[in-house]
Amino acid sequence: MRENIFYEIYHALYGFYGPQFWWPAETQLEVIVGAILTQNTAWKNVEKAISNLKRHSVLSVETLSEIDEGELAAMIRPSGYYNLKAGRLKNFIVFLADNYALSLPDMLKQNAARLREQLLGVKGLGEETVDSILLYAAGKPVFVVDTYTRRIFSRHGLVEPGDSYRNIQSKFMKNLKSEIKLYNEYHALIVSHAKTMCTKQPRCKECPLRSLFKIKKGE
């Protein structure tokens, strides 16, 4: 009996790329900061910004709460849109202070649906950022959808290009077991595949998913 296509894709990608060891961070706060800083930039730029924060001993909720926003912006300059992102980091810290007395553990143990709703109320945090926090920092079984997910799965007719974030997320979560490790690895593999093969100019002849789909002649 054939597996459902979502599992088949996962196994094909895992077999080709291997484990991705995501999220690359030392602490839960670092995951959250990275999820906010990675908006509209390459991860290598986020790493430089986080390195600056560590070098200045700023990567704690207390210091992020106390630091001047302009000073914070200067430290995260490599991530791009640094003034905007500094504001978003500050918005998150204010939320954490107002709702959880700056206790990250208390926030992260909140149930997924409630925490998602709360975080989406923080100015500057969208669905992808919030779900990354839920999955990678809080360890909640929430599937993260990004532009790479939409690109790969719309090309193979499994989602529509215009589908909403929640509709795409729902398709994954209905077709996969609710497992943190699976969601973690799957999202990471999607990112790797989109950057390596399923780029804006796809390399279909070399694609590890080729055998699962009918690829148009000449591609």
Closest CA to 210 of 15, 26, 58: 15
State the Cα–Cα distance between residues 142 and 165, nearest whole angstrom: 13
Asked whether the CA dihedral 50, 79, 191, 175 is positive or negative, the reply is positive
| pTM assigned to the model | 0.94
Tens digits of pLDDT across the chain (219 residues): 457 999 999 999 999 999 999 988 999 999 999 999 999 999 999 999 999 999 999 999 999 999 999 999 999 999 999 999 999 999 999 999 999 999 999 999 999 999 999 999 999 999 999 999 999 999 999 999 999 999 999 999 999 989 999 999 999 999 999 999 999 999 999 999 999 999 999 999 999 999 998 654 334
CATH number of 5-21+143-212: 1.10.1670.10
Pick the CATH number of 28-137 from 3.40.718.10, 3.10.20.740, 3.40.309.10, 1.10.340.30: 1.10.340.30
Asked whether the CA dihedral 63, 69, 75, 80 is positive or negative, the reply is positive
State the Cα–Cα distance between residues 58 and 67, nearest whole angstrom: 8
**One-character DSSP codes across 69-127:** HHHHHHHTGGGSSHHHHHHHHHHHHHHHHHHHTT-HHHHHTS-HHHHHHHHHTSTT--H
Domain boundaries, the chain: 5-21+143-212, 28-137
| Cβ neighbours around 42 below 10 Å, total | 11
Bond before 23 cis per omega within 30 degrees = yes
